[in-house]
Structure formats: structure tokens, C-alpha cells
Chains A and B, each alone.
Chain A
Amino acid sequence: MSTLPSDGVTLVLAIPAATAALLALLPGYRLSATLNVLSAFLTLLAALSLLIWKPESGPYILVDDLNIVFVVLNNFVGFTTSVFSASYIAHELETGRLTPVHLRFYHAMYQVLMFAMNLALLANNIGLMWVAIELATLTTVLMVGIYRTREAIEAAWKYFILGSVGIALALFGTILVYMAATPVVGEGLDGMLWTVLVKRVSAFDPALLNVAFVFLLLGYGTKVGLAPLHAWLPDAHAEGPTPISAVLSGLLLNVALYAVLRFKMLLAANFQAIAPGPLMATMGLGSLIFAGFMLYRSDDIKRMFGYSSIEHMGIIVFAFGMGGPLANFAGLLHMTMHSLTKSAIFFTVGHIAQIKGTQKIASISGLTVTHPLLGWGLVLGVVAIAGMPPLGIFMSEFLVVSSTFARQPLLALPLVAGLLIAFGALLLRVHQLAFGAPKGGTGPVRASYLPIAAHLTLVLMAGIYLPPALVAWFQHVARLLG
């Protein structure tokens, strides 16, 4: 594509794409794993370069302050997950759950997924974004089903069907947005460009925008995992390989959320259209409370954290739904913190499940005794995700709650109740997992602690001290979000 600016953006997209092609050809998992890590690292560097040299946006590619946050986060977690995946996959190969052929496929798909997500984030074109998200969905479907067990295929199938319907609805919404745009901006490519749409949206037909938003919210909301559209999420998390669970929770949900946010910005700029906020806030709140209750009823450890992702997506969507600089800031921060923490949790959980040979909570206990590093890592992660001070998520939850107070004091009540319900469940489970008399396998572990430590350190640091530059950046983005 000649219209691509030839710099960081190109690299961010080209590296994963090229590596994917390469990995599909290369045999030997060791080399592929190394290459995978290397490529993820290079992509991360390219993404970081966007912070410094911000390219101009073209007809297909848009780089603004909002999506840089997402891109950097995306590639950071993508990189650490690739590190984790290297040690995880080695173990899977030993136990024979995966074959080298699978692995070749797996690594290639991993890079395709990274490419798709980066593309979705950087796309300036709502159609292109839709295509990228569909690609990401297809890739993850394949990855979720990679174990070929009955349960894995069921989960993948469920994910596939629900995801496809979601995607279809999103497409309809996209078409509607375009149709709303044509009378104002004219036919052709312009009607699908963010940069154009945002500027002119106030003149669009509000009724059309309303319908469009309903479809987009439901469509991309399915991918975000908002209740009641969430059904695929826990299964997909539980049955896929753990690195994929981490990527799903930490990244793909964000990408879908990013899409919702973009359209929310559109709608918010048109004053005659219905306000998207209340709708999002309601769905967010519903997801939070629903997932909070469901957390009590999960006995599969990965499934439980899948529900926890729904819960946190609920909080984030609620925050963005509330709107206003403070709530948006809180939502952004919460999203970042959640990505970091949740992927760290999945890293530990992946190792734990490998050691214990099971994912059932009931058959795991006393982790802090048998595997202190993993056990305490899990405890720290859960404590963080549950929103205890002084970790980062507490900060953002505090901001969400207090900004809710500022605007809708009554909504804070169910919000806090939901937080408390989820908190009780998470802590209940982690008490069972990490403490008490040891249960389950006690074998030694070849874990990669580095990604876990890196994520948790970041979360802890964010809880204690947020660099002013980051705060300023987020505040700026929050204002962009309106």
C-alpha cells in the first residue's frame, strides 16, 4: 500500500505480518519461539517509536494519542506473552498435548493475531478496522481450538458462532454509519474515515446514527464480553492455551473496546443522537454485577479469571459510559492496569495448571507453600485485580467510584456493591488456591518469572506513583474522549 507512511506504523504492521509468513514455513519450535519473541520485541520497539515520531495519518492509517496508548500496551503485553509462551509451549510439547506441527501453526497464528490487532487499532477506516477485528477473531478461534479436545472445540465453536454474529451486527452498524455520512461528506472513501467522520458528525442524521450505534455496541460489545453477550468468553479463556487466554483478556478485549470507544466519540459529537453514555454505563454495570456473582460459581481457575475479565470490562465500559475527563481517565487507567494484571495472572495460572495438571480450583491448594514464587505471584495478582490498595487497580477503581459520585451519586451504590461482590469471590478463591494445606502436584517448575514480575511491578508502581508525563498524556486522551 503506497499510502502507508513509511515509518513506525509500517514496521508495527509489517513485522508481525512478515514473521507470520516466515513462521508458517519454519520447522522446529525452538527457533520459532525465539523468532516469535524477537519479532514481538521488535514490534514493541516500533510501537514505542510512535511515541516519539508521530506519523501523519493517511486514508487508511490513523495515529493519534488515543490509539498510541492502545498500540503500545498491545505490543508490550504481546511481547511479554511471547516470552511466557516460549516456556509454556515447551512444556506442552513435553507433555504431548501439542505436536510440532501445531506449534508451527500456533506461532504463525500468534503473529497474525498481533498483526490483526495492530491493524484494527491503527486503522483510520471503519471498514478496515472491521476486517482487522474479524481477522483477529478468526485467528483466536483457531487458537482456542488448538488442543482439539472435545471441550476446546466446543469452546471454539461457541466463540466462533457468537463472534460471527457479533461481527455481522458490527458490519451492519458500520454500513449504517457510512450511510449516515454520505449525504454530508459525499460518497467514497471519505465516508469511512475517522478523521473525516469526527469533524463532520454533528451534521449526520441522528436517527441513523442511533441505529448504527445499537448495532455497533452489540456487535463489538460481544467481543468486549459485555453481559449478556459474554457467553463465549469464559469458555474460550478456559480451554485455549494460556498465552492465548492472556492475549484475549489483556488485548483483544481492549481492541474491541477501542472500536466501541471510537464510535462512542462519534455519537457523542452529534448532539441530536441519543447519548451513548447511559447505554454503555448500564451494560457495564450489568456486566460488573453479573460477573461478580458468577465468580462464586466457577471452579475452573482460568474460567474464573475469564469472568473477572468480564467484570473489569464492565467497570471500564461503565467508566467510559459515565464520560467526562475524570471518568475517561479512570477508564483508560483501569484498562491499562487490567491488561497488565490480568495477563500476569494468566501467566501464573498457566504455570500452575501445568504443575498441577488440572485447572479445577478444588484440586489446587496451598500454592504459597509448594511454589512460593508462583503462589505469591498469584496472590499479588489477585489482590491487585480485586482492587486492594496500594496497587494500580485500586487507583483507577477509586477514580471510577469518585467520578461516579461527582455525576450520579446513586449509581455509585450498585457500582460499589458489584465491586464488593466480585472482591469477595476473588478473595475466597485465592484463599483456597494459595493457602491451606497443599494439594495437587508439587513438581518443580520451569517458569518464566520475568513477565509476571515485570507486569506486577508496573502495576505496583502505578499504584504508588504515576509519572506526571503519563498522567498528562492520559488526561489529554481523556479530554479527547469527551
Chain B
Amino acid sequence: MSLASWALVMAHHRDEDNVRAGYVYIVMASFGTLTLLLAFGLLAGPDGNYAFDAMRLQSRSPQWAGILLGLVLLGTGSKAGLVPLHVWLPLAHPAAPSHVSALMSGVMTKVAVYGFIRIVFDLLGPPAWWWGVPVLAAGGGTAVIGILYALMQTDLKRVLAYSTIENIGLIFVGLGLALAFDAAGLRTAGALALTAALFHVLNHMLFKSILFFGAGAVLTATGERQMDRLGGLIHHMPVTSFIFLVACAAISALPPLNGFVSEWLVFQAILLSPQLPHWGLKLLVPAVGALIALSAALAAACFARAFGVVFLGRARSSAAKRAREVDRWSLSAMAVLAGLCVIAGIVPGFVIDGIGPVVEAVTGARMPAQDSIKWLSIVPVAESRSSYNGLLVFMFIAASASLAAYFIHRLASHASRRAPAWDCGFPDPSPATQYTAASFAQPIQQVFGTFVFRAREHVDMPAPGELRPARIDIEMHDPAWEFVYTPVAAAVSFVSGRLDHLQFLTIRRYLSIVFGALVFLLVVLALWP
């Protein structure tokens, strides 16, 4: 699978960046494969029996189980893009064709999630209390860093790729919670958390596919991926933009769409954390909750920015001006997915019931059946505790919006007139005065980026009278590159540099090495008891 995706990433290999992307991708993929290989090897135990049943029956010491968990987390994490194993995602996605990135983002990362669930929940045996800790921490960190990255990107597909990282983080938080609850014997709570995670898997598959298709449509229509060269597409591509808007709202976890439901379930699971016996977890879980809330808010900002810059405003390039709607088939595919988003959002009870058997198979418990609850609400634990009814909220919004529309049309003036934009009295003729993707993100970057990415702005202001444009450069450092990959690369380079000297010895020295080896082995033999 990774080979196929690699070939797809390498499809346009004349570009140096793509070559680099392909390289990073394939190395990371193999890293993941090998760690998973190690994990399976450990799971199989000394008999080398690779059947799942045999693995379940193995008994392991806690240390080995812990090492296994770490390996699985590394392996699936590198496939799924957990921070700091995420570096290949943003390189690979822009390089790959849209439908491929849609697949990679929607399906491949989910396969990794499946693998994690299968191994950790099913095969690894009963969890220890601390298993949830690394998963939760990785998930929470991934969610925030992923979405912050997404906010800083100006390449639309890269935005989507990083947002995938965020969602994966969210899913892993759900999984971590489920592990923690399971370890404490809170089966129903574990089932709730796992349901939330699986629900989000489904949701992400739906809306991220739409978004990638939409990005592909934009690319087809304009030939542009850079958000700062787009704009105003809502006029030329109304259907695409509407569907894209639905997906944006869904991924931003806005009610009444599906993204909100899964996030709400995660929050409900987090709120059950006082039941956990262990203090570390009790304190960690709400902190992770804060991270999730932060990432949700950032996601909303991110997708408001993505939609606003690409589809709204005025066209920033002639290509964007000439854009045309894409063909019907693409549109209908996107529309079907969008419809599913809405349906999953307003009747989430059915989805939860659908997931129920899966959850039960994995954790041995499931959330209470939702189909018998009146008005199709969902009630994770008890009605007095919390409930949510997507259908009603949807209906309320629709009703009150139509009510307002009705009254206004009955009572208020119908007159309307087109005029140049007022803009506080400073109408500007050039689309270049609009806010760009970079400028939209600038306040957020100032607030978070300086801390997380050590972002620095360099303003290059020409002297008065000079005619060259002012420039602003933003310098950012990926902490993952800096703290994980660069040292590893440096270490490899160092070691190979050291060993490199062995290439330039004289024959006599090579002979000395052989001689030394011989003497060493003889000495060993002489000292052998």
C-alpha cells in the first residue's frame, strides 16, 4: 500500500519538492511498517503464530505490553500522522493528485486507526491504567499542533492535510480515553469514548473527502492551489462552494452537523473523567479536554479562513476570475457526501447504534441503544446528565430562520440595490487590498505561533522614495523537525562520517583490522571457560 501511494506521490517527480516529499514519505512509511512489524513479531510470541486468536491468548509481562503499546503507537502514529510523526503528511499531500490525497487522508489514516484499535484493544490484552496517558498526550498535542499548522499554510491542500492531522489527534484522544476507562473497569464510559472516536472516524472520512474533492475542483477550475491567488469563487462555482461550506461547517464542529456530534461525545467522555481512579489521569483528561476545545476553536478559524479566502471576496488572480463550475458527476459525488454529513449530524442516534456492535465487540460494552429515545435524541449516559438532539436543533434553526424571513418579508422593506462596497468610506479598487490567507492567520500566528513554532516576522520596508514593494517574511520552525528529525539525521550523518574514514585506509590497515579481529577472537577462545 505504501509503495502504491509512494508511486502516486512521485507522479510528478520533476519537481524537487515532490522528490523530497516522496522520500520523506517512503521513509516514514517504512518506519511505520517496521515498527508494526516489530509489534506483530512481539505479539506473535515465540511460537510465531500470527493468527489473531493465538495473539489474544498470549500472556505478556506488563513491560512487554508497554513496549508493544509504544511500538504500535509509533507504527500507527506514523501512518496516521501523530505529532511528531506527521512530517510526511504535509509534504505528500500537495504533491499527490487530489483524489489520491483524498484517499490517503480519508482511508489510509483510518486504516492506521483501525490497526491501533485492533492491536491495542483486541490483541494486547487488558490495559494498564497508564496506557491511556501516552495516547491522550499524543492525541491532544497532535490536535492542536496539526490545526495550528493548517492555519499557517497557504496551500489549500496542505491546509486540508494538516487538518487531517488534527482530526487524527482527536480520534486518538477518544481512543486514549477509551483505554483509560477500560483499564479502570468503566466499561460504559469506555464504550462512550470509543463510540466517539469511531463516530469521528466516520465523520472525518465524509467531510474530508468533500474538502479534498472541493480542493480538486478548485484546482481543476483555476489551476491554483495557493489560496492567496484565489478568491470570489462563490460567484463562479456556486454549487461547489455551497457543498464546501457545508463540509467546512461540519469539520469546524458546528451544530447541527455531524462534526459537532462526535466532538460533543468526546467532551461527554471527558466529563466522565472524575470516575477514573488514578489521579494522574483525572488531571490529565480535562487538560486534554482544554486542548481539544482549543483545537476545535482553531479549526473553526481555520476553515472560516479557508472558505473565506478561497470562495469569498474578490478574485485575486485572473485564473480565479475565469473559473467555471466542475462537471456534474464530481458535484453529485460531493453532494451525496454532504448529504450524509447532514444526516449523520441530525440523526446521530442511528449512527451510534450502528457503531454499537463494533464497540461491543472490542470493549465488551456499548452505549445504551439510542433508537428508543424520544425525538431521536442522543443520551450518552443519562438524560439528567446530558443530551443532544440534532434533529430538533436543526429544525429549530430552520424554523426560526424561516420565521424571521417570513416576518421580515411581511413587515420590512423589500427594496434592495447594488452599490460599490462602502468599506467605511475607503473603497479600494484593487483586490490586492483584501485580507489574504496569511494576513487572516497573522493574529493567531502572533498569539500561538510565536510560542509553538518560534515564528518571527521580518519586515523589509523600503526607504521612502524607493519603489520596491515592502516584504514581510515569516520564519517558522517545525519543532518536530528541529527536535526529532534533524538530530536523527545529524546523528546518522555523524556516524556515517565517522565510519567513512574506514573507506580510506591502506591495505596494511585493512589487514591490521583482519589481524585484530583474529587475535580478538583467539583471545576470546583462550578465555572461554
**B26 lies within 8 A of chain A by Cβ:** yes
**B400 lies within 8 A of chain A by Cβ:** no
**B22 lies within 8 A of chain A by Cβ:** yes
**Interchain CA distance A435-B16 in the complex, whole Å:** 9
Please, which residues of chain B bring their CB within 8 A of the CB of A405? 38, 41-42, 44, 48
Please, which residues of chain A bring their CB within 8 A of the CB of B33? 389
**Interchain CA distance A420-B517 in the complex, whole Å:** 27
The interface residues of chain B, by DSSP majority, are classed as helix
Please, which residues of chain A bring their CB within 8 A of the CB of B517? 218, 228-229
Contact present for B496 and A296 (CB under 8 Å): yes
| Other-chain residue from B10, B42, B514 in contact with A229 (beta carbon distance below 8 A) | B514
**A479 lies within 8 A of chain B by Cβ:** no
Contact present for B503 and A297 (CB under 8 Å): yes
Please, which residues of chain B bring their CB within 8 A of the CB of A129? none
Query: What is the minimal beta-carbon distance from B48 to any residue of chain A, in angstroms?
Result: 5
Contact present for A402 and B44 (CB under 8 Å): yes
Q: Contact flags (1/0) for A369-407 with B, using CB distance below 8 Å?
A: 100000000000001001111100000001001111111
**A409 lies within 8 A of chain B by Cβ:** yes
**B461 lies within 8 A of chain A by Cβ:** no
Contact present for A214 and B505 (CB under 8 Å): no
Choose, from B194-202, B271-279, B520-528, the stretch at the interface. B520-528
| Minimum CB distance partner of A405 in chain B | B41
**Interchain CA distance A390-B187 in the complex, whole Å:** 40
Choose, from A46-54, A156-164, A178-186, A464-472, the stretch at the interface. A156-164
| Other-chain residue from B18, B20, B505 in contact with A231 (beta carbon distance below 8 A) | B505
Contact present for B46 and A435 (CB under 8 Å): no
**Interchain CA distance A166-B513 in the complex, whole Å:** 12
**A165 lies within 8 A of chain B by Cβ:** yes
Please, which residues of chain A bring their CB within 8 A of the CB of B14? 366, 369, 435-437
Please, which residues of chain B bring their CB within 8 A of the CB of A403? 48
**B475 lies within 8 A of chain A by Cβ:** no
**A25 lies within 8 A of chain B by Cβ:** no
Please, which residues of chain A bring their CB within 8 A of the CB of B500? 294, 297
| Minimum CB distance partner of A366 in chain B | B14
**A58 lies within 8 A of chain B by Cβ:** no
**B287 lies within 8 A of chain A by Cβ:** no
Size band of the interface chain A makes with B: 35 or more
| Minimum CB distance partner of B3 in chain A | A388
Known contacts: A169-B518, A424-B27. The answer to whether A402 contacts B513 by CB under 8 A is no
**Interchain CA distance A223-B493 in the complex, whole Å:** 28
**Interchain CA distance A73-B492 in the complex, whole Å:** 36
Q: Which of A417-433 contact B (CB under 8 A)?
A: 419-421, 423-424, 427-428, 431
**Interchain CA distance A302-B46 in the complex, whole Å:** 39
Known contacts: A368-B13, A402-B41, A428-B23. The answer to whether A161 contacts B514 by CB under 8 A is no
Please, which residues of chain A bring their CB within 8 A of the CB of B514? 162, 165-166, 218, 222, 228-229
Known contacts: A427-B23, A435-B13, A436-B13. The answer to whether A274 contacts B528 by CB under 8 A is yes
Known contacts: A383-B3, A407-B46, A435-B19. The answer to whether A416 contacts B37 by CB under 8 A is yes
**B54 lies within 8 A of chain A by Cβ:** no
Q: Contact flags (1/0) for A336-360 with B, using CB distance below 8 Å?
A: 0000000000000000000000000
**B267 lies within 8 A of chain A by Cβ:** no
Please, which residues of chain A bring their CB within 8 A of the CB of B64? 409
Please, which residues of chain A bring their CB within 8 A of the CB of B41? 401-402, 404-406, 409, 412
Q: Contact flags (1/0) for A144-159 with B, using CB distance below 8 Å?
A: 0000000000000110
**Interchain CA distance A157-B46 in the complex, whole Å:** 47
**A293 lies within 8 A of chain B by Cβ:** yes
Contact present for A431 and B22 (CB under 8 Å): yes
Contact present for B40 and A402 (CB under 8 Å): yes
**B435 lies within 8 A of chain A by Cβ:** no
Please, which residues of chain B bring their CB within 8 A of the CB of A293? 492, 495-496, 499
Query: What is the minimal beta-carbon distance from A36 to any residue of chain B, in angstroms?
Result: 33
**Interchain CA distance A390-B19 in the complex, whole Å:** 22
Query: What is the minimal beta-carbon distance from B41 to any residue of chain A, in angstroms?
Result: 3
Query: What is the minimal beta-carbon distance from B448 to any residue of chain A, in angstroms?
Result: 33
Please, which residues of chain A bring their CB within 8 A of the CB of B496? 293-294, 296-297
Interface residues of A (CB under 8 A from B): 157-158, 161-162, 165-166, 169, 210-211, 214-215, 217-218, 222, 228-229, 231-232, 234, 274, 279, 290, 293-294, 296-297, 326, 366, 368-369, 383, 386-390, 398, 401-407, 409, 412-413, 416, 419-421, 423-424, 427-428, 431, 434-437
Between A and B, 20 residue pairs with Cβ closer than 8 Å are: A161-B511, A165-B514, A214-B522, A218-B518, A229-B517, A290-B499, A294-B496, A296-B492, A297-B503, A369-B14, A388-B26, A405-B41, A405-B42, A405-B48, A406-B48, A409-B41, A409-B42, A420-B31, A424-B492, A427-B27
